[in-house]
Amino acid sequence: NINIALSNEIIFASKIIILMYDYNEKARKIVRGLLKAMPYNLAIPLMIRDKKEFYNIKLKEVLEYLEGYDLDLKDLIITYIYSYPIYIFKQQYILKLINKNTDYVIDLFHDKKFLKAVSHKSYALSDFLEMLYRKDKAAVTNYSALCYVLHLKNKDVLKCALELIEKDEYNSRPYVESSIHAYREDVQFHLKNIIKRWNYNRKSFKFQTIDDVIQYIDDYYDENYEHIIDFIDKALISDVVLRKDKKTKVPVIVMKYILLEYMLLEEPYRIKDIDKIADLFDMPSFRAALENVYRYWIDNGADENKKNIIIPYCIYADYNQIVNLYDKIEYWHDNFKSSLAAYIIPAIAMNGEKFALMIINHIIYMSKNKKLKNAAIESFKKASECLNIPIDNLFDKVLPNLGFNTERNKIINYGKQSFTLQLLSDSYLEIIDNSNHKIIKELPDAIEGDDEERVKNAKMDLVNIRNSLEAIITYQKEKLKKVMFNGRKWDYETFFEVFVENPVMQYFTLAFIWGVYDEDNNLIECFRYMEDGSLISIDEDLYELPKNIKYYITLYHPIDKDEDYQKIWAYQLELYEINQPVEQIKLKRYFLKEDDIENDAIVCLKNKQLSFEYMEKLSKELDMKVEYFEEHVSYYLLDDVLKIAAEINCSLYDEDIEIDNIKFYKLEDHNRFGVNISPYKISHRFISTLIYYLSIGFYG
């Protein structure tokens, strides 16, 4: 359990120290003085490593051994923290010590000398605090240690401590409320906001009247920060009225509170208590006030230091205001202010309305600026968390149809000439001259009687459609490949909205076998969608969806029925010459056997060889994370639907990779790994698909 490499010189010195200590009492005094003078991160590793080598000491005897050197668990923990980032002890060992000595460890944080010592390694201290308080680690419920940590000034440690406190209201709230006034002003501010969030995240939280709001603001409005919004004239925000009483104006202090809360954010976010306050407002007058603030900020140079002032404008904007914001993003992009444009994009996404999300989606597919494109992609993730809607559902909500109707065609009118863009079932785009119904390769130039501007716009539109179509097809292939792993389901209404009513998505709808599943992922029956809008069964009879609100639709997986069933569907697809954009009907079925698993890891693929090139390609296709360590590499496949992470551990041999084992972990917030999960508890669908894709690359 001790992972540290020591030089021969240090090992030799440690042997002398050991021999001196065992010589007599005078020598022991010299050794104790010497150890006190040495940095913690050298002293204890030297003693333990050397003593282990000479006397074969067991790790459970480490603490007793250290007592002979006037050192104890405190010194061991300091040493552990000082050895960051390559810890000298495995985390499991430190966890055992914490669990056996919890009260002692908590009391250590009451010691100013200890706090000062460990605070020099901020990242390591944050790691240690998470080990103490995370539910899947030591899960300590005594928050007095964190209360002492809050007196430190390191921003990273403070952020970690505050996040741990906020995640466990039940245990931490009594400590916070009893000690809040003992901290610096900035820490008090953060703790008050945590208490506020605990309060407004309760389902029952609601303002009945404007008087309730004023009372609430009296408790939380901090005048010490009021100077941040001094540049906003009260006249700009004084005409907001109540929704139920349009003769009553909203007090200016309420609007100041809203603006100040958003100005204090480190990044765009939708604040829930402000949503509750805004529920009482007449929305047109509220939007008009935010429009005033936005225009004032724009007219005065759009100071980037004050850019947070327009976050509420983005969040509560109507259709026309969103369109104006999009124009402004393009203007900023063209005038070397891409960072400002990228900052505002997440705020627009948190608006949550379909037209706002479609603007963000358009940036993802059409923007040539990598910074804006990445900001748009990230904004969907943030909006998903903020609006509490799965990210894939958000993308489904805003899939563009690129102007095609449900028959998958789009008319282009030059004036005299007209053409039809026809989207074929294989996603190929065909151009038809409406005058003679002939297929042409490209849109022609204008002739007499055509509108030159229309011709120019039509040609640009065609380029955009082709680029967007390619991007959408590529993205949806990746998503549907993931569905073959996780079995993500759609209710009937959403399925038809996404896959039938959207002409672009019909390419996928026609190519797959779809399954009707119950809530427990049991397959009820399968069907195919036909070009005429009908559904057919495996027997090629007309099929009608079962009328059950607890049934859902997803891609059929061969593991959910027997092999004969799979073969019949495969024959039907072959008969109609249907090529599937993502592997489905040819997937091989794999069921785990008892000897395939050892120590909660899949070992049936052990020593199977793949090329490094194949694994790099597969990791990109499945969006795997990759970590290298010496002659080993691990691939991590994270699934947000099943909330699991698959860890594929491999050994590197030149251009080859050899699989060691596959482990599974619970996937927690912010893609953190939780407890190890037995493969028996993982979906058969996921494991079978994973083994299939790995097996394609096997050789030797």
**Per-residue pLDDT reduced to its tens digit, 105-162:** 999 999 998 998 888 888 899 999 999 999 888 999 999 999 999 999 999 999 999 9
Paired strand residues for 418: 413
Q: Helix (H, G, I), strand (E, B), or coil: what is residue 150?
A: coil
CA distances from 198 to 29, 143, 360 (A): 54, 17, 31
Token pair listed for 465: 């459609």
What's the rounded Cα separation, in Å, for the pair 111 and 145?
Answer: 10
Token pair listed for 426: 């294989």
Token pair listed for 640: 């947000």
Pairing of strands 514-517, 597-598: unpaired
Give the pLDDT confidence score for residue 64 in this predicted structure.
65
Residue 50 — very low, low, confident or very high, per pLDDT cuts 50/70/90?
low
Give the pLDDT confidence score for residue 631 in this predicted structure.
85
Cis preceding linkage at 85, omega within 30: yes
Domain 594-696 has CATH 3.30.310: yes
Q: Which of 385-394, 474-483, 576-585 has the lowest mean pLDDT?
A: 385-394
Q: CB within 8 A of 103, min separation 6: which ones?
A: 142
Give the pLDDT confidence score for residue 366 in this predicted structure.
74
For the question of whether the overall pTM of this predicted structure is more than 0.95, the answer is no
Token pair listed for 292: 């005033």
- Among 110-119, 354-363, 533-542, 647-656, name the most confident range: 533-542
Give the pLDDT confidence score for residue 68 in this predicted structure.
60
Paired strand residues for 619: none
474 burial via Cβ count (<10 Å: 0-12, 13-18, 19+) = exposed
pLDDT tens per residue across span 349-366: 999 888 898 888 888 877
Contact 393, 352 (CB under 8 A): no
Q: What is the DSSP letter of 206?
A: -
Contact 81, 128 (CB under 8 A): yes
Token pair listed for 156: 């990273």
Q: Which of 612, 644, 618, 613 is closest to 631 using CA atoms?
A: 612
Give the pLDDT confidence score for residue 203 in this predicted structure.
84
Half-sphere exposure of 87 (CA within 13 A, CB side): 18
Residue 46 — very low, low, confident or very high, per pLDDT cuts 50/70/90?
low
Task: Name the more confident of 674 and 195.
Answer: 195
Give the pLDDT confidence score for residue 355 in this predicted structure.
86
Q: Helix (H, G, I), strand (E, B), or coil: what is residue 675?
A: strand
State the sign of the Cα–Cα–Cα–Cα dihedral 113, 118, 120, 125: negative
Q: CB within 8 A of 346, min separation 6: which ones?
A: 267, 268, 375, 378, 379, 382, 383
Q: CB within 8 A of 670, min separation 6: which ones?
A: none
Contact 420, 408 (CB under 8 A): no
Paired strand residues for 169: none
Q: What is the DSSP letter of 538?
A: T
User: Which helix (H) or strand (E) segment is 41 a member of?
Assistant: helix 40-55
Query: DSSP 3-state helix, strand, coil percentages of the chain (rounded to 5)?
Result: 55, 15, 30
pLDDT tens per residue across span 227-248: 999 999 999 999 999 999 999 9
What's the rounded Cα separation, in Å, for the pair 235 and 256?
Answer: 12
| Angle at the Cα of 473 from the Cα atoms of 686 and 543, rounded to 5 degrees | 65
